[in-house]
Chain A
Amino acid sequence: MHLTCTQPQLYSALQKVNRAIPPNSPIPSLTAVHLQATDAGLLSLTGTDLEFGVSVTISAEVFTPGQALIPARIFTDLIRHLPPVELTLKHDEAGGEIIQISTANSRINLNGMDTSQYPELPRTKENVKFEIPINLLQEGIKLVSIAAGSEEINNVFHSILWEIDNENLNLVATDTHRLAFFTKKIEKPIESQKILIPSRALNELVRLLPSEQEKVTIGVGDSYVYFEVNNLFLYSRIVAGQFPQYQQVIPQGFNTRAQVKTKDLQEAIERAVVITREETKTRSYVIKIRVEHNLNISSQAEQIGNLEENVEALVEGPPLEMIINGRYLLDVLRVFPEEEINLEFLTSLKPVIIRPVERNNYFCLILPIKTR
C-alpha cells in the first residue's frame, strides 16, 4: 500500500470509525483500524466490534493499492497532532507490517497487524434494500431511544424495534418500565419487515449521518442491517429475540387528562428530583403527581426535606394521584420539541401516556410505582 491523502480528511474519518472500535478486546485486531486503498483513488477506513461497524471512504492518490491494519488509538492520536498537510502512508519496503507515515517534516514508523486477521463487513447479503429520509430517522430515533436501556448489550430491552408495514415506519423501544412509540408515513411503500436493532447502533447512526444529505440507503439481511450514505457505511447486528406485543399494553382512552406546558412541567420535575435523587435505589427520583384543578408535583426524602410544585394545567376528568419515577418523565420532556403536552391517566397503577397536543405520531408511556 502506498498513498497520499490530507490530514483533515483522514482525521475526520478516523474519528467516525473510532466510534465502533473497542478500547480493549479479546480479539486484538478489533482494536485496530482497517485501511483499504484501491485503484479508484479511494481509501476506506473501517472499525468494528463485530456487533457494530463503521466504514468511511475518503479520496486519496493511490500509487499501490493494498491494505493495512493499524492500532487505532495510537494512529488516531498521531494523526490528530499532525499539521493539516498532505500525508504519505506506505508499507515499509523491507516488508512486514510496518506502516510509514510521513510529511515534509515528520517520519513515523508504526507496527501494524496482520490484515488477514480482520473480519469482513457483511455488505452484500441484504434481502431488502430501500431509502429513508435522514431527518425522519434522526427525529424518530431521538424520540424513542430514551425508552431503551443504554447498556452495550444486545438484548430486546436495549434495542429499538424497526417495523415497516407497507407505508409506515414504526420505531418502538421499551426497557419494560416505559415505552416510546414513533410512526411516520414513508413516501414509497416498502416490503413489510420487523427487526430489532441495538439502540447503541442507532444512536451512533444519528450522530454520524450527514445532515446535508437527504436520504440514507438501508439494507436488511438475515442477521445484519446496514445504512449507507455517500462515503459512510454503518452496519449492526440484528438482535435475536421477541419484542413484547406492545399494542396490547397501550391503554386505550383515559379517565383523567392534563394539558400542560412542556417547559413548566420539566422545570418543576427537575427541582422535584433534586430532593430524592440521592435516596437508595428503589426510592431515588420518586415523585408524586396529583391531578386536580392543576398539576401538583411533590417529593420528599427523610434526610433532605420536601418540595411541592404547582404547574398550571387544563384538567379533564376526576382527580388522581400517581407515584412515578421523575427521571423517566424528564427523559421524555427533554426530547419533546412541542410546547404543550397531554398527560393521559387511567388509574394510579396504570401507565400514564405523554403525548404532544399538536400531533399524534409519537407518545411515551411510563409505568407508575406501587407502594405498599
Chain B
Amino acid sequence: MKDILLCDLDAFFASVEQRDHPEYRGRPVIVGGNPEARGVVSACSYEARRYGVRSAMPMKKALRLCPQAVVLPVDMPRYKQVSRKVFAVFERFTPEIEQVSIDEAYLAVPGGRGMETAREIRRAVREELDLPLSVGVSANKLLAKMACELAKPDGLKAVWPQDVPEIIWPLPVNKLPGVGPKTEELLKKIGIFTIGHLANRTEREMTTKLGSYGKELYLLANGIDDRPLELIHEVKSIGREITFDRDKTDPQEILAVLAFLSEEVGYRLRSKRLKCQSVTLKIRREDFSTFTRSRTIREATDSDGDIYRVAKELFEQSKIAPPWRLVGVQVSGLLPADFRQLSLLGDAGREKEEKLLRAVDGLRRKYGKGVVHRAVVLKRQTRNVK
C-alpha cells in the first residue's frame, strides 16, 4: 500500500504576489478580473478571506466586503512558471504525481513514509520557493483531500482510515467532496446532517434514495475510495467561454462569438493532436440561470468548422431567451487523431480543410491567435466598434 499526499498551494496566485511584493504581505490581496467588466476573484490571500472574500465571487462584491484590498490582475504566465518549479520539487520525491490543477497535486509515496515525505516537501517549497503549502496525508485520495482541508492554511495533517469516525464523521455533510448545495438539501431532508449520519445508513438505503451516486457517497463517508492516481494528466475535455462585458441580445453576435470560441477550441485540439466526439454549448442568461446542450457527432473531428456547425445548431435549437451573459464551447470524448479512416465520399473536401487548418495554425503559432479568423468572427468585432 502506498501513502497518498494531497499537496495544495495556499491561495496560490495571491501568495505568489505577496512573495514577490513584500509590501503586500500581511495585507488582503485579491487577484482577479476587472470589477467593471464583471470579473471574478481568482484567488485571495487569507487576510482577504477574513473579510468573507472567496474565489469565484464577483469582484464587485469582493470589493464591497473588503474595500481596502490590494487588487491585482491575473498574471497567468508567471503563475504557470512558478507552478512548474513547485512540481519540479514534487518530482524529486516521487515519480507518481497526479496534477489536479495549477496549484494542487496528488503524490503517491511508499507506505509508512507519508508524513516524513510531506514534512520534507513542505520545507523544500518554503525554503526554495518561499511559498506556503498545505499537505494532507492518508491511504487514499479522498482522505488525503479531507486531511488537507483540515490542515489549511500552511499546515500538515494525516487522517488515516481508523481516524474516520473521530475526525471525519462529526463534520457537516457538505464537507464531503461531491456534496453540493442541492445534494446537501436532499440529505438534510432525510435526516443526514453530518458525514457520520451518512456513514451509518446502509449502502442499500443510499442507493435506493440517490442511485449509484448515493452508493458512492456512502462509500466516501466511510472513508472508502479506490480511485487510482491519474498519473499522466489526461485531458478529458477542452473548453473556452466568454462572459460579455455587456449582456447580448443579438443572436448574430452570439454566432460570431461561437465561431471565435470554436476556432480557439479547435486550435487547442489540434495542437494536442486530438479529435473530439461531442460538442457542448454553454449559455448563461442575465439572471445567472445556466444551460448546457451537448451533441455527439458521427465522426470524430478536430475542425473549427465542424465544431462551430454543431455549436450553432445547438444554439439555434436551444431557444434560450436573451439577454445572454456568457457563452461557452466545450469539446469532449477526446481521441488521438493519428489514425483517420478514409471514406468513399468527401475526402477531397476533408483533405483541403486539413491543409487549410494546418496553414492557419502555423500562422497562429507564428503571429499570434488573432492573425486570422473565419469571416463570421469579424461580425463580433464590427459590433464592438459601433
Contact = CB atoms under 8 A, between A and B. Distances in A.
Contacts of A189: none
A367 B344 CA distance: 7
A176 B338 contact: no
B163 to A, nearest CB: 36
A372 B355 CA distance: 13
Nearest to B351: A370
A281 B340 CA distance: 11
B124 interface: no
Interface string A345-372: 0000100000000000000000111111
A179 B339 contact: no
A282 B344 contact: no
Contacts of A280: 335-336
B300 interface: yes
Interface string A282-293: 110010000000
B341 interface: yes
Given A281-B335, A282-B300, A177 B344 contact: yes
Contacts of B345: 176, 244
B275 to A, nearest CB: 7
A128 interface: no
Contacts of B339: 282-283, 286, 323, 369-371
Contacts of A249: 344
A179 B345 CA distance: 12
B336 A367 contact: no
Contacts of B277: 281
Interface in A30-55: none
A236 interface: no
B101 to A, nearest CB: 25
A325 interface: yes
B384 interface: no
Interface residues of B, number: 15
B300 A367 contact: no
A244 B346 CA distance: 11
Interface string B305-349: 000000000000000000000000000000111111111111000
A368 B342 CA distance: 6
A174 interface: yes
Contacts of A371: 338-340
A176 B340 CA distance: 13
B343 A177 contact: yes
B343 A282 contact: no
A280 B339 CA distance: 11
A76 B34 CA distance: 69
B344 A372 contact: no
A367 B342 contact: yes
A325 B337 CA distance: 15
Nearest to A328: B341
A349 B343 CA distance: 11
B300 A370 contact: no
B335 A367 contact: no
Interface in A136-179: 174, 176-177, 179
A282 B342 contact: no
Nearest to B273: A372
Contacts of B340: 282, 369-372
A369 B342 contact: yes
A248 B92 CA distance: 62
Contact of B337 (A176, A323, A368, A372): A372
Contacts of B344: 174, 176-177, 179, 244, 246, 249, 367
A302 to B, nearest CB: 11
Contacts of B343: 176-177, 367
Contacts of A368: 342
Nearest to A324: B341
A325 B277 CA distance: 19
Nearest to A177: B341
Contacts of A370: 339-340, 342
Nearest to A281: B335
Contacts of B346: 176
A56 B127 CA distance: 86
B337 A369 contact: no
B313 to A, nearest CB: 18
A177 B342 contact: yes
Contacts of A323: 339
Contacts of B337: 282, 372
Contacts of A286: 339
A57 B339 CA distance: 52
Contacts of B275: 282
Interface string B126-146: 000000000000000000000
Contact of A325 (B335, B338, B341): B341
Interface string A307-336: 000000000000000010100000000000
B97 to A, nearest CB: 20
A353 to B, nearest CB: 13
A369 B343 CA distance: 9
Which of B275, B300, B343, B344 has most chain A Cβ within 10 Å?
Answer: B344
A246 B344 CA distance: 9
Nearest to B342: A367
Nearest to A350: B342
A323 B340 CA distance: 10
Contacts of A372: 337-338, 340
Interface in B207-227: none
Interface in A162-221: 174, 176-177, 179
B340 to A, nearest CB: 5
Contacts of B335: 280-283
20 contacts: A176-B343, A176-B344, A176-B346, A177-B342, A244-B345, A280-B336, A282-B275, A282-B335, A282-B337, A283-B336, A283-B339, A323-B339, A349-B342, A367-B342, A367-B343, A368-B342, A369-B342, A370-B339, A371-B338, A371-B339
Interface of B: 275, 277, 300, 335-346
Given A244-B345, A280-B335, A325-B341, 16 more contacts: A176-B345, A177-B341, A177-B342, A246-B344, A280-B336, A282-B340, A282-B341, A283-B339, A323-B339, A367-B342, A367-B344, A369-B340, A370-B340, A370-B342, A371-B338, A372-B337
Closest 6 pairs (CB-CB, A-B): A367-B342, A176-B343, A282-B335, A370-B340, A176-B344, A282-B339
